[in-house]
Amino acid sequence: MIDWIGEIIPLPDKMSWAEQGRIHRLSCYRDAKNALQGLTISDIAQIIKMSERQAIAFMNKMTKLKVVAKEDGMYVINPLYF
């Protein structure tokens, strides 16, 4: 049995280095309790410096890879990775 507690799970192999960097940059945004913060598309586009259209395509890919989840119009990063 593998004990995953305390270990970092690697990001999916289907992600490019640029995509991994973008997700890492988004993971730095946390709330007052140090929990990962939900972000809107406009927030994401501003943080990773791309258009909203590009941000939507990027987040759709990350949702398919289960790196992020969409809840009530906000995207939340899967805490297993960070």
Is the per-residue pLDDT at 3 higher than 60? no
pTM passes above 0.85: no
Tokens 């507690």 belong to residue: 5
Q: What is the pLDDT of residues 12-67, one digit of tens each?
A: 999 999 999 999 999 888 776 767 788 999 999 999 999 999 999 999 999 999 99
At residue 26, the 3 state secondary structure works out as helix
Contacts 24+ apart (CB under 8 A), 32-40: 36/76, 36/77, 36/79, 36/82, 37/76, 38/71, 38/72, 38/74, 38/75, 38/76, 39/74, 39/75, 39/76, 40/73, 40/74, 40/75
Q: Which fold has domain 17-77?
A: Arc Repressor Mutant, subunit A (1.10.10)
In the chain, what are the domain boundaries? Answer: 17-77
